[in-house]
Amino acid sequence: MAQSGTRNSYRWMVAPAVIFAAAMIVYPFCYALWLSFSDVQLGSDPRFIGFGNYTRMLADGEFWNGLRLTFFLYFMALGAQLVLGTWLGLLLARSQSARGLVRTVMVSPFMLPPVVIGMMAIVILDPSFGIANWILAQVGLPPALWLSDPSTVMVTIAALDTWQWTPFVALIVMGGYLSLPHDVFEAAEMDGANGWFRFRYVTLPLLMPTLITATVLRSVDILRFFDVIYITTQGGPGNASTTLNILAYRRGFEFSELGYASAVMVTLSAIVFGSVLVFARLRKAAAW
């Protein structure tokens, strides 16, 4: 009883954290939600129009193109990062030599600022003097336009994100693998399970909660991916890389349609929250 009273008397100490969270998260989201129901231009007062922005959004071809590109980037980048990250993480976990040095090198890509990644990509992938086309020429392949070709720009952007964040997934997988009980693997070997069968029926199920955690972290990042796309292509060529983030930015700050841009971002936020909830349920189901 006395302990309960003491615990209650200290609850006020969490008030600063609650106020900070409300000021930095709840208020901006609620303000964006209110703007999404308004017709508002820069420098003018908002005018409530109900679901007008959402109705316009559903009839907007650029919105559906942005939604398609957002999901294309999401599935391509996330799939590549999970496959390559799992392979690399298991390889590092089983290798004792130079593990510390390799970890240091692996951390480097995702420690770089997005503007550095974008500028590096512009220089390396330049069709005229970039080293990427020089390498293609050395092996007898024709040059590519990379970020300037509508048919390759999204694949190139997905490759950039995969290069930067696969080491992050690999480190999570390596940590998860090293924390697994080794007697399970020893028992599997005694039963004759080796190679692919041990990975498929022992390692993968045990690693599933770790993989889902990595999936949640990368899902949030990929769905709100903006900076490198804007630095390298600004949504072009044409609308070939105009994801929902780029579309909302351009409508909000280039065309001064803050209400419509807010409706797009509220929709994207709902997609992000929905994916997190789905993966949270999957993680509970995969827990062991």
Per-residue pLDDT band at 242 (split at 50, 70, 90): very high
What single letter denotes the amino acid at residue 197? F
pLDDT in the model for residue 1: 52
Which residue segments constitute the domains of the chain, with CATH numbers given? 63-286 (1.10.3720.10)
Three-state SS annotation for 135-202: HHHHCCCCCCCHHHCCCCHHHHHHHHHHHHHHHHHHHHHHHHHHCCCHHHHHHHHHCCCCHHHHHHHH
* pLDDT band with cut points at 50, 70 and 90 for residue 285: confident
- Phi-psi group of 258: left, alpha or beta (phi > 0 → left; psi -120 to 50 → alpha; rest → beta): alpha
Contacts (Cβ under 8 Å, ≥6 apart) of 251:
257, 260, 261, 264
The verdict on pTM exceeding 0.85 is yes
Mean pLDDT of 213-228: 92
Residue 200, pLDDT > 90, answer: no
CA-based angle 143:144:146, to the nearest 5?
150
Closest among 245, 238, 173 to 204, alpha carbons compared: 173
Cα pseudo-dihedral 159, 160, 166, 169, rounded to 10? -110
Alpha-carbon distances, residue 174 vs 101, 151, 188 (angstroms): 15, 35, 20
Comparing CA positions, the residue from 255, 241, 84 lying closest to residue 165 is: 84
- Gap between the Cα atoms of 239 and 51, Å rounded: 26
Alpha carbon distance 219, 264 (integer Å): 18
Name, of 9-13, 23-27, 133-137, the range with top average pLDDT.
Answer: 133-137
How many DSSP H helices and E strands does the chain contain? 15, 2
For residues 220-226, give the mean pLDDT. Answer: 91
CB 147 within 8 A of CB 228: no
Q: How many angstroms separate the CA atoms of 267 and 272, rounded?
A: 9
Query: 99 falls in which pLDDT band (50, 70, 90)?
Result: low
Confidence grade of residue 98 (pLDDT, cut at 50, 70, 90): low
pLDDT digits (tens, 9 = 90+) for 20-79: 887 888 888 899 999 999 998 877 788 899 999 999 999 999 999 999 999 999 999 999
Task: Look at strands 38-39 and 47-48 and give their pairing.
Answer: antiparallel
Mean pLDDT score of the chain, rounded to an integer? 88
> What backbone phi and psi angles, to 5 degrees, belong to 40?
-140, 130
What letter would DSSP give residue 3? H
- d(C-alpha 103, C-alpha 96), whole Å: 12
